[in-house]
Amino acid sequence: MLAEGSRQSKKFSERKIPRWLKFAHDFLTEHFAENLSLLEIASQVNVHPIYLSTVFKQKFGCNVGDFTRRLKIENACKEILKDELSMANIALESGFSDQSHFCKIFKNYTGLTPAAYKKTFLYSSKKS
């Protein structure tokens, strides 16, 4: 019974996210389009960059770079569906250095080019 209680306690503590890590997560969510280094992010929460990287991956299942790229792609998807900006402007607004890099990363994450994504989701929603 004691061993089971210990295992349950460990499971709970594994789920608990430290306050500084929650702040780092929120900071990244708000500043994903900025070109922030791991050192700059770690300094925001007063931890060592390697410690930030390690704990972030443990708690969120991805590294800081992957998390940031995912946020950039999610933002780009929303902007594409608004159909107001050019792909180059969407790339820049989402934090990519250029449209070519944006297209490559977008396809890696979604399986579609930005143009194919737009054609698939924007035009199919207009038919409905």
- Give me the pLDDT at residue 1, please: 53
- pLDDT tens-place string over residues 50-106: 999 999 999 999 999 999 999 999 999 999 999 999 999 999 999 999 999 999 999
Q: How confident is the model at residue 121 (pLDDT cuts 50, 70, 90)?
A: confident
pTM here is 0.81
CB 87 within 8 A of CB 79: no
- Give me the pLDDT at residue 101, please: 95
Average pLDDT (17-26) is 97
- Token digits for 110? 């979604």
CA distances from residue 27 to 15, 46, 66, 67, 71 in whole angstroms, order as listed: 20, 13, 15, 12, 12
Kindly list the structural domains of the chain, giving each domain's residue range(s) and its CATH number in brackets, ordered by start: 17-66 (1.10.10.60), 69-127 (1.10.10.60)
| Residue 103, C-beta contacts closer than 8 angstroms, at least 6 positions apart | 87, 91, 113, 114
Alpha helices by DSSP H, listed for 1-128, are: 2-15, 19-31, 38-45, 49-60, 64-82, 87-93, 99-110, 114-117, 123-127
- pLDDT tens-place string over residues 30-55: 999 999 999 999 999 999 999 999 99
